[in-house]
Amino acid sequence: MAEAQVNVEPRNIRKDKDEVVISIKGVKKSFGTKQVLKNINLKLKRGENVVVLGRSGTGKSVAILCIVGLLKPDDGSLKVFGDEVAEMSDSELKQLRIKIGFLFQSGALYDSMTVRENLEFPLTRVLKIPDHAEIDRRVEEALESVGLLEAIDKLPSDLSGGMRKRAGLARTIIVNPEIILYDEPTTGLDPITSREISELILTIQKKNKTSSIIITHDMECARITADRIVVMDDGEFIAEGSFDDLHKSNNKIVASFFKDIS
């Protein structure tokens, strides 16, 4: 039990804006006979927010599950901080996951724990911080940054959808990840809460200098958060550019996403 506190400082990483933190080249993934990822290529730079747009079932979530090593690509190269994820040992993968935050679509809060305990979990189990005062300080700071301090002792079942997302986001940022992967962060929320969550994502990027991949089909979220947008269809990226560039695109699939945007 008495293990050393985990050092979360990145190893000799050049922290300039052009540094590529995630590099995906020719990644393919199949389930049975169905090829979900056909040929994925993407580079995420430090401090950049990349939005992945795509209809449901096009393989967006599979792509980010490959990044954290929950799924193994069948082919291609997927490097995070220059290291090939598929070749990592369990302990290397664990170290990598400390640097990558993941916000699940449902928030994925642990049902049996209060919001406070949810946030304490990665601090005590992963970073192994022994100091209770430090843990309390970080929990309160994270909840304050997502505007949820008043719900600190509530159970997830007592929270609304938006509050769950905020609590999930607080649990994600509490370990100060360098990369955050958002899986449909605004799905199932009303437009006002969706906008608040999108603005929160942007605030976190600016404040913590995180790099993010945001999977969504919410155009308002894409407009607010994206430095760059890639559009995915049928397991491939079919277009890439800024929000304004893609807004003018003649591609039928891309245009269908932007048709209601004035």
Q: Which residues bind other proteins (CB under 8 A)?
A: 1-3, 31-34, 36, 57, 61-62, 68, 70, 94-95, 97-98, 100, 102, 104-106, 108-112, 121-122, 125-126, 171, 175
**Is-contact 38 227, C-beta < 8 A?**
no
Smallest separation, CB 44 to other proteins (Å): 17
Determine the angle formed by the axes of helices 132-145 and 191-208, rounding to 10 degrees: 130
- Closer by beta carbon to other proteins, 47 or else 156: 156
- Closer by beta carbon to other proteins, 106 or else 187: 106
Smallest separation, CB 249 to other proteins (Å): 27
Residue 251, classed as helix, strand or coil, is: coil
Q: How far apart are CA 63 and CA 78, in angstroms?
A: 10
Q: How far apart are CA 171 and CA 185, in angstroms?
A: 14
Smallest separation, CB 253 to other proteins (Å): 20
Smallest separation, CB 180 to other proteins (Å): 11
- Closer by beta carbon to other proteins, 13 or else 126: 126
DSSP state of 3: P
Q: How many CA atoms lie within 13 A of 179 on its CB side?
A: 24
- Closer by beta carbon to other proteins, 98 or else 255: 98
- Closer by beta carbon to other proteins, 32 or else 259: 32
Backbone angles phi, psi at 175, to 5 degrees: -95, 10
Smallest separation, CB 110 to other proteins (Å): 6
- Closer by beta carbon to other proteins, 8 or else 255: 8
Smallest separation, CB 97 to other proteins (Å): 4
Q: How far apart are CA 150 and CA 211, in angstroms?
A: 29
The sign of the CA dihedral 7, 8, 10, 15 is negative
The one-letter amino acid at 39: N
